[in-house]
Each structure stands twice: as structure tokens, then as C-alpha cells.
Structure 1
């Protein structure tokens, strides 16, 4: 036998609510029974009094009291009335208490039994009393009978109308049976409601007991506080409901605590609005919060498809991530070299063919031209673009342009220092790469002319200015306001991400981007990024 057993939450709720319903029904039943009993007694008393009063005023009754031959008349009159009424007995008596009528004719002429008739005979009072008579315990009404003699009203007797207590109790019991049925129905409904309420509360708590909820809460707090990433949860009213230690450290905010409004903590949108209003889920979006570049992921919290809140995860770009970006820049150089290697293989095949054809002068001219072109762009980038990752990116794009037979012209006065902060440099990589790829796509759609891309980048005192221009198919006027939205793409299999990333990175640095285009003639993008 398990002595440590304790009822589960839904069982406790069912028992408690059922007991409460039973208690309420008992109180209601007690009050109702008393009221029904009182009402029934009052009804019987009033009925017997009214019936007795109507008999007492009958002229034939008052005239025949005191006369020997009047008993038969009174008995006949009274019994007809009794049989049509609810009375068990109607007794007419003279001033000596001698009966002139009775349900049992043999008792006519005998004295009235009970002793409660004295007040009506002695004082002429109307009243109802309870006493035991020849038929048993009864509740009876007394009314005096008057007769006019010598111009004056004189009491000559009294009439008593009675109901046996046994019959009264039976009628009250019948009324209580209806009340009992109603109370039982209330008990059934109350118990059913208790069961429904208990199970519904248990279901809303995902079947967990209070001690299990407390344990889960402690586990959750422990897990949150051991994470290196910051976690902030808000409800649908944008009130912070949970925040771990890492969030306070990463965001460098001491005023983050449960119960505070989100707009009192962040002066910029961290992505939670989109999660709350539209149910959007975003992962690893770069945002600058308190002058710190962070990766922010936001996820809406749903219960039965209803959004009840959202969670944001904040993480810093660690040294390992910075090293990864350095490696990414190296990778771009490797890709550029690989592309050049492919191009050089093609050139070697050309040279080999010319030698077989004994076109030696053309071989010399071809080698000189190829060497000059490759060395020129490489020397230019190494000298003017001091950021290795960006130089590697431009070299890779230049090689791709050659493969696609597209002229890639970089302004000879372009320059970029190596003093850029990491955040600005990474944004430039994203912006330059996507704008050039967008230019490639635009040119490849126009097969009627030689493709050309023009790029210039200037590292000015307070800002970086970038200009990318192509002679592709261009952008229609109605689409110029849509190209920066996620999902918009002019390609059949496009995802519409590239230009959206450009716009996001520009906005991160509070920069600006301008687009101008003439359909079928090309497009031009001008980007300005503050260096601070």
C-alpha cells in the first residue's frame, strides 16, 4: 500500500468543486424546504379559514343551530361542501361545543374534542390551531357563527374546518420530491462541470502537476542561465516575461527585468514586432544594438495557432567567428585563383594550338596581351584595395566576368583603406557581391549587346561611396520600389534575397542607397555608408 499517495491536480479540483456544489445545494435545499413547508402551512391555514368563514355566513347554518331538527340540515349542507373541498372534516357546533356535523354521523351530538375550541366559543375569535381530535392530529381553523336576534348579532356557535397532519405532510412531501429532483439534477450538472473543469485545467497545463511545473520552471531557469546566448521572451503586449543573465551581459543593459515594457529597454526594433504581429521566424539576422553587432534570431510563441508571445536570441560574433571571416576572405582569393587557373588553362590550349599551326608571332602577341590583362587587374587590386577579403571578392568577380564575356570596368581611381571596422567590412562584402551578381543576371537576360559592368569605390573621410552600373535589361519603374523586399525576383527560380540583404546592411549602418534605371538600357546603384 502506497502511504505517500496524493491525489492529482484534476482529482483535487473535482473533489473540491463537487464538495462546494454539495454544500451549496444543501444550503439551498435547507432554505427551500423551510420555505416550501412554511408556504404550504400558510396556504392550508388560509384555505381552511376562508372555507370556515364562508360556511359561517350561510343563513341556513346559523338558523338551524340550537334546533334539534337542524342537525340533519346542517349535516347535509356541510358534507356536500366537505366532499368538494380539500378539508378532511367540517364541524359545526353550538355554544356548548356540541357537534351539529361530522364526517362520521355517529359522532354528531357529541362534544367537540381537542380543547382548542374554547377561544372561539368564549371570545368569538378567528384562528388556526393544531390539536388531536377524534380523527387524529389535525390543523384546524375556527370561525364564530352569528345570528341576528332582536336586531342584534348574537354568536350562536362556531365552525371548524380541519386538515389532518398526515395529509398535509404527504402534500408537502410531494412538493419536496420535485425539489429533490431539481437538487439532484444540480448535483449531476455540478459534478459534470467539476470533472470538465478539472480535466480542462489539467490539459491547459499540458498534463503537468504543480510540483512538476515548479521543477520544469527551475530547470528552465537553470538552462537559460547556463547559455552563452542571450534570451529575452515577451508576451503579446510586448512585456518582458523572461530574461537570462547572458542577455544582460551581451546587451550591456542593467534595466532588463521581467515585467518591464520592451520599448523601455530597446530604442530600435530587434525583430520581435514582426514575430508578434506577422508570426515571422528569422534566424541569425545581423543587427546593431547599443553599438554592438549581434546575430538576432526571433521566433513567435504559439498556442493552438494563436500567437501569445515571442522569443529573441542574441549572440555576439566571437573571435572564432572573426577568424572564420578571415578564412572566408582567403577562400575568396582561392576561388579567384582557381578561376584564373581555369582561364590560364584555356589560354595554354590556345597557345598550344597556335604553336602547332606555327603562328609564332601570334603566340607572342597573345601571351603579351593575356599577361598584361591579368597582371594589371591583380596589381591594381593589391595596390588600391587594402582589404584582402574585398580585393579577393573583386578579383573573383572580374574572373567570372571574363568567363561570361562581360566587360568588368573598375574605376582606376577607386581605393579602399584597411582601417575599416569588421562590421563595415562585412557589410561591404555583402553589398558589393550582391550588386555585382544582380548586374550579371541583368546582362545575361539581354543577349543583344556586349555586357558591361562599371564599378567604383571611394574611401572618403567620413563615408564609403560605392557605385555599380550595368547595361542590362534594367528595372521597370513600378518594380523599383519592390526590389528590396524579400521574395521579389525577376528570375523564375529566384528567391529574392540578394537585394534585400543589400538594403538591410545599408540600414544597419544608417547609410543610403539610390537606384536609377531605364528599361532595356541598364541600372545604376549608388550606396553611401558612414564610417562611424
Structure 2
């Protein structure tokens, strides 16, 4: 009896040790309190991120959805709780079932969800080289476009300010040199010409463009064009009032800024470097015309220049005209392009524009 009892106790202890080691291995060496801490941290992270997250298991059943994803689903008119449902029935176009089959990562893919367009990343989940599930992270593409446009607007503001600062420093160097050379008569004439030229430019813009933000931006673009060796001429037969919706100003800066930047690049190697910017406003329609003396655009390129990433100027280009089109789509505007290879190019923009009531 004693021998059997001792043997049973030793066997139980050995079994308990082996079982504990096995369980600890399954739990990656974590103690219960550590598991609870990790779970709480994971939930806090998942619920705090702005991207929507949805996870499925091996059988394509939805196991996890965060608050951002539920918000996007609700915006699309889907109010059901997705947890426990098959992803193929809840989101037929999610393609997570395909990720479970192929095990391949899919990044920055577009997905339609009712009236929304999502930008989605899909990745498989592996445990010991075996697929045990898949995760998709996504965000409303409209928000991403808005962020891109805001960054572009800030860049255009910064470039205009830099050009003005650079032009001002160049003029100060000229004045300093003339002072050192004692050319006081010529200095007086030079400063007088600068003041008259500046007053004419600023006077025309402030008289024509009543939106102070847009007016300041155009003054900066004049300096930027001169720094690039091009002549930017502004003209308008009508006064442009402030917009009823202040958000239009940002879109106008994106549109005008990118069109002028493209025009400056187009005339860079031309003997006549002239760009004309013309405004016309009537019947709540704003017409913006940008004409350059560049090399023109071939018919083959003309059909693709508004596509994102399409460019003939090298890598990391092809965004400017795409953003112009995106802003026009947002405002309900239209764009006409008139160009032939080896000749001048004209961009004409038509935008619904309601004036602010005084």
C-alpha cells in the first residue's frame, strides 16, 4: 500500500509538472495576471486607433471588430453586430477568405462598401507556419484624400513664402551692393521701380481678389515664378468676391497652385517663359484659365495626365494634376485641356462659386 501510494503521488507530481509546462508553452510562458494585462492592453490599442480593424478565424468567422470599423459600417448603413458572422455574408467584397486561401499580403487595395470607398490592407495570421486567421485594416478613402490635399496646400503655402523671402533677400543684396558702390542716384531709381512694381502687383491682386488668403497666395506665386525665371501675368475683367464657403479657398489653392507649378516646369527650357492666369466670374461660376508657352502635351499623354502617378518627369511625380481633378470632383467643377505637342497649353477650370453675402 505504501509503495503504491508513493508511486501514485510521484506519478501525479510528474504529470502535474508536465501538464504545467505544456500549458505554459501554449500560453507563451505568461502567467494569468500577465495574460489579463496583455488582453487589456490589446483591447485598448485596438479601440484607440482611427483605422477600422476586422479579424476572422480559419473558418472566415468574424472574431474581432474595433470601434472605428463599427463607425465606418454604420456610416455605410450596416448596423448589425458583425461578431460571429461569416465575413463573406457580412462584407462580400472583403476578400479575407482569399487571404486565408493564398496566405498573401494585400496592401493599399480599394474596396467599395455601399456608398463609401475604403483603402484596405489585408494580412494573414500565422501560428507555427499555419494560417489561423486574417486581419484587415481600413480607412475611408475620402479622409485620406482630405489629408493629402491639406498637406499639398501647406506645401504650396510654404513654397510661396520661401519664394517671397528669397526674392526679398536678392533685392536687399542688390541695394547693399549699390550702397557700397555709392550709386545713390541709381539706387533711388531702383527702389522707386521696385516700389511701383510691387504696388501695381499687390494693388491689382487686392483690388481683384477679395479673399485675403487667396490674394496672399497669388502674391507668393508671383515671386515664385520670378525666382524660376518665368513671367506670371494675372488678369481679370471682374472682381472675385470672397466665397460663401471658406473651404473652397483651400481647394482653389490646390488647383491654381498645381496648375501654375506645372506651367512653370513646362516653360523652363523655352525661349519665352510666359504664364498667363486669368479669372472670370459670372452667374455663380468661376472660370480660371492657365496658359503657358511650354512644349505642349502629346495626344497619348493627354489621355492619362489626370491619372494618379502618371508622369513623364521621373519617379515620385504625377500627383499634381490628380489632386487638381480630385479637388474639382469635390467642388463639382470641370476641366478642359487644350494642347498640342510642340505648342502652347491651356487649362480652363469651371467651378460653381457662390459669393459671400456682405
Q: TM class by shorter-chain length?
A: 0.5 to 0.7
SS of the equivalent of 1:528 reads strand
Q: Once the 2 structures are TM-superposed, how far is the Cα of residue 341 of structure 1 from its aligned partner?
A: 1.4
Give structure 1 regions of 4+ aligned residues with deviation exceeding 6 angstroms.
2-6, 205-208, 211-218, 304-307, 323-330
What is the match of residue 4 of structure 2? none
- Cα distance per residue 1:423-481 (max 9 Å; x no partner): 422222222111111111111132xx221001123455544332211011111110111
Q: Once the 2 structures are TM-superposed, how far is the Cα of residue 413 of structure 1 from its aligned partner?
A: 3.0
1:242 aligns to 2:44 (yes or no): no
> TM-score, normalized by length of structure 2?
0.64
Aligned-partner Cα distance in 2 for 1:352–1:324:
42
Aligned-partner Cα distance in 1 for 2:311–2:230:
22
What is the match of residue 302 of structure 1? 123
- Cα distance per residue 1:188-215 (max 9 Å; x no partner): xxxxxxxxxxxxxx8xx9999xx99999
Aligned-partner Cα distance in 1 for 2:268–2:332:
32
272, 278, 294: which is aligned to 1:472? Answer: 294
In 1, are the aligned partners of 2:331 and 2:351 still within 8 Å (CA)? yes
Q: Which residues in structure 2 correspond to 1:82-481 (within 5 Å)?
A: 220-227=42-49, 229=50, 231=52, 233=54, 242-244=65-67, 248=71, 255-259=78-82, 279-281=106-108, 298-303=119-124, 310-313=136-139, 334-335=161-162, 337-349=164-176, 351-352=178-179, 355-356=182-183, 360=185, 363=187, 365-413=189-237, 415-446=239-270, 449-481=271-303
SS of the equivalent of 2:326 reads helix
Aligned-partner Cα distance in 1 for 2:29–2:285:
59
What is the match of residue 482 of structure 1? 304
The change in CA–CA distance for 1:221 and 1:368 in structure 2 (over 3 A counts) is same
Aligned-partner Cα distance in 2 for 1:528–1:2:
83
Q: Which residues in structure 2 correspond to 1:480-519 (within 5 Å)?
A: 480-492=302-314, 495-519=317-341
Aligned-partner Cα distance in 2 for 1:344–1:438:
26
SS of the equivalent of 1:475 reads coil
Aligned-partner Cα distance in 2 for 1:234–1:423:
37
Aligned-partner Cα distance in 1 for 2:68–2:123:
25
The change in CA–CA distance for 1:434 and 1:326 in structure 2 (over 3 A counts) is closer
The change in CA–CA distance for 1:2 and 1:231 in structure 2 (over 3 A counts) is farther
Aligned-partner Cα distance in 1 for 2:334–2:230:
28
SS of the equivalent of 1:419 reads coil
In 2, are the aligned partners of 1:336 and 1:395 still within 8 Å (CA)? no
Q: Once the 2 structures are TM-superposed, how far is the Cα of residue 409 of structure 1 from its aligned partner?
A: 0.6
Decide which structure has the larger Cα Rg and report it. 1
SS of the equivalent of 2:322 reads helix
The change in CA–CA distance for 1:482 and 1:241 in structure 2 (over 3 A counts) is farther
- Cα distance per residue 1:53-79 (max 9 Å; x no partner): xxxxxxxxxxxxxxxxxxxxxxxxxxx
Aligned-partner Cα distance in 2 for 1:505–1:442:
22
In 2, are the aligned partners of 1:516 and 1:525 still within 8 Å (CA)? yes
Q: Once the 2 structures are TM-superposed, how far is the Cα of residue 261 of structure 1 from its aligned partner?
A: 11
Q: Once the 2 structures are TM-superposed, how far is the Cα of residue 386 of structure 1 from its aligned partner?
A: 3.1
For these two proteins, the number of residue pairs brought into alignment is 311
The change in CA–CA distance for 1:280 and 1:429 in structure 2 (over 3 A counts) is farther
Aligned-partner Cα distance in 2 for 1:7–1:421:
69
What is the match of residue 521 of structure 1? 343
The change in CA–CA distance for 1:220 and 1:422 in structure 2 (over 3 A counts) is farther
Aligned-partner Cα distance in 2 for 1:393–1:261:
53
> TM-score, normalized by length of structure 1?
0.46
- Where does structure 1 lack aligned partners over 5 or more consecutive residues? 12-201, 283-288, 291-295, 318-322
Alpha-carbon RMSD = 5.2
Structure with more contact order per residue of length (Cα contacts < 8 Å, sep ≥ 6): 2
